[in-house]
Chain A
Amino acid sequence: MKIAIPLDEDQTSVCCVLARAPYFCFVSDGISSIAENPAAQSQSGAGLLAAQFLVDQQTTHLITPRCGENAAQVFRAAGIGLYKSRPGSAQANLDAFSRNELEELTHFHAGYQGIS
């Protein structure tokens, strides 16, 4: 199991967005690491680029406040479980996840890019 959470600049709190979060926190077998999100500054298609990064990192569970439709398609196809985060620290969310207290994320927003 490898859990991912989008992180804010402070590298502690859950970021309010997924694709443009500055960092991701990964927790695997109790060992946590922090990685820069390659999609954070992407001009377009950030959701898909972030999703590709998380898939390539062999993420199995993602805890996030929100997620776009395109990225959700990728996660579904990759079999990654999606859980709705609570405001606060990544650690508090990991604790809640381990107690099975986080709800599954079922609502996905349309992409932000108009590509117009």
Chain B
Amino acid sequence: MNIAVLSGKGGAGKTMLAVNLAAAAGHGAYIDCDVEEPNGRLFFRSPVLERRPVCTKIPAFDPTRCTGCRACVDFCRFHALVYLKDAPKLFPEVCHSCGGCALVCPAGAVTELPKEVGSLELKNDGSLRIVTGILSPGEATGVPVIQQALALAQEPLTIIDCPPGSACAVMECVKHADVCVLTAEATAFGFHNFRMVHQLAVLLGKPCCVVVNKSDGVYDPLTQYCREHGLAILALIPNRPEIARVISRGQILCREFPDAMDFFRRLLEQIGGMVL
């Protein structure tokens, strides 16, 4: 079972929730797909066992073979190729590595070369496997890193720590999920972005449930929205200084507080119940 932990707004508590669910399970995999700023690994302090590069492919053009037919330029729906001075010119940051230009070239002038866009960091925490996707600075999209990180989700239980927002990188994670846990912050801003990510998960046909974090009592619009959309609010995590303090030290709540371990184990069971 793949559990995606999502929130529209950043800082709502995705990583806290994902790390604690993984720690409460004690087995399976925790995959940090927030590749622009992965910080789940800070909570799991074991040494890194392996780093592997993540590469995409970008086309290279052989000028001795290119006939200037422009088939590649015309094919590229992302317009990453411009035909300039009798040769195709690539704009690598626009290229989506689809390989289409190599397929349509009638002269065999296009070869695909690897381009490193990030890396994966692997370590273990007891029986838990920790996979961290890391996007190289300056890269336009984290999707290839996320795809390769999620390809490692072979365990029966995988917790996917998603990027914030509701764009392509989030979609990539949701696609791999059996169930989506929406971390909600009970504020107007948090609620607004929460609805966006909920709509995305619904669009992709995924069952959803809600955990309200930093909860200072009831926030009516959120509660009402969840009622209207048949969304179960599985838990409220209170806004307490002792919780914030533990997290700010890079410690895992359910390893510091025995009742937190019970809380996250119960939550994990309830989430598991969503997909039965």
Residues on the A chain within 8 Å of B93, using CB = 111, 115
Q: Which of B73, B140, B143, B169 contacts A52 (CB 8 A)?
A: B73
Quick check: A42 and B141 within 8 Å, CB to CB?
A: no
Number of chain B interface residues as a range: 20 to 34
Interface of A is mostly: helix
Quick check: A115 and B91 within 8 Å, CB to CB?
A: no
Q: Which of B73, B78, B82, B142 contacts A116 (CB 8 A)?
A: B142
A111 vs B77: C-alpha distance when bound (angstroms): 17
The verdict on A45 contacting B94 (CB below 8 Å), with A116-B141, A116-B168, A116-B169 known, is: yes
Interface string of B167-198 (1 = CB under 8 A from A): 11100000000000000000000000000000
Tell me the total A-B contact number using a CB cutoff of 8 A.
Answer: 60
Residues on the A chain within 8 Å of B168, using CB = 115-116
Quick check: B79 and A52 within 8 Å, CB to CB?
A: yes
Quick check: A77 and B142 within 8 Å, CB to CB?
A: no
Is B260 engaged at the interface, CB distance under 8 Å to the other chain? no
Interface string of A104-116 (1 = CB under 8 A from B): 0000000101111
Is B203 engaged at the interface, CB distance under 8 Å to the other chain? no
The minimal Cβ–Cβ distance linking B182 to chain A, given in whole angstroms, is 20
Q: A56 — nearest CB in chain B belongs to which residue?
A: B83
Quick check: A114 and B167 within 8 Å, CB to CB?
A: yes
Query: Considering only CB atoms and an 8 Å cut-off, how many residues of chain A contact the other chain?
Result: 22
Is B214 engaged at the interface, CB distance under 8 Å to the other chain? no
Quick check: B167 and A51 within 8 Å, CB to CB?
A: no
Q: B94 — nearest CB in chain A belongs to which residue?
A: A45
Quick check: B78 and A45 within 8 Å, CB to CB?
A: yes
The minimal Cβ–Cβ distance linking B200 to chain A, given in whole angstroms, is 13
Interface of chain A residues 52 through 67 with chain B (CB within 8 A): 52, 55-56
Quick check: B91 and A70 within 8 Å, CB to CB?
A: yes
A55 vs B79: C-alpha distance when bound (angstroms): 14
The minimal Cβ–Cβ distance linking B19 to chain A, given in whole angstroms, is 24
The verdict on A48 contacting B167 (CB below 8 Å), with A78-B84, A115-B141 known, is: no
Q: B170 — nearest CB in chain A belongs to which residue?
A: A116
Is B80 engaged at the interface, CB distance under 8 Å to the other chain? yes
A40 vs B215: C-alpha distance when bound (angstroms): 46
Q: Which of A48, A78, A114 contacts B80 (CB 8 A)?
A: A48
Quick check: B82 and A115 within 8 Å, CB to CB?
A: no
Residues on the B chain within 8 Å of A44, using CB = 77-79, 94
Quick check: B91 and A52 within 8 Å, CB to CB?
A: no
Is A49 engaged at the interface, CB distance under 8 Å to the other chain? yes
On B, residues with C-beta under 8 Å from A are 73, 76-80, 82-85, 89, 91, 93-94, 96, 140-143, 165, 167-169
7 shortest A-B CB distances, which residue pairs? A45-B79, A49-B79, A48-B79, A116-B167, A115-B140, A115-B141, A45-B78
